[in-house]
Amino acid sequence: MLSQIKEHVAGTLGYLCVGDPGFPLRDSVLDGLYALREEKAVELQFTVGEGLVCALAGRHCTAANDRWDPHNPLSVEEDEHKDDR
């Protein structure tokens, strides 16, 4: 149970740094994620790794991609197999 809470916290901390490139608590977030390196739970370590990637990459992280933004190269595109009229 405690490990699952730590997983949710690690993921959330990483996502906090995605939306704001000048997030003032970024160093505190990284310190908190680094502090979890001694934990033995494998799932937690994967989540910590994802959180670190999000915190370090910021807006360049794939988590920051808005798939519904038409100007985003990774956005959902219309069906390419429409009938030609």
Mean pLDDT by 10 residues, the chain (85 residues): 89 86 90 91 94 88 72 56 50
Per-residue pLDDT, 50: 92
pTM of the model: 0.71
Its sign, for the CA torsion 8, 12, 52, 62, is positive
The whole-number pLDDT of residue 73 equals 62
**Rounded distance between C-alpha atoms, residue 66 and residue 73, angstroms:** 10
For residue 32, the model assigns a pLDDT of 92
What span, in angstroms and rounded, lies between the C-alpha atoms of 37 and 46?
11
pLDDT for the residue numbered 79 = 47
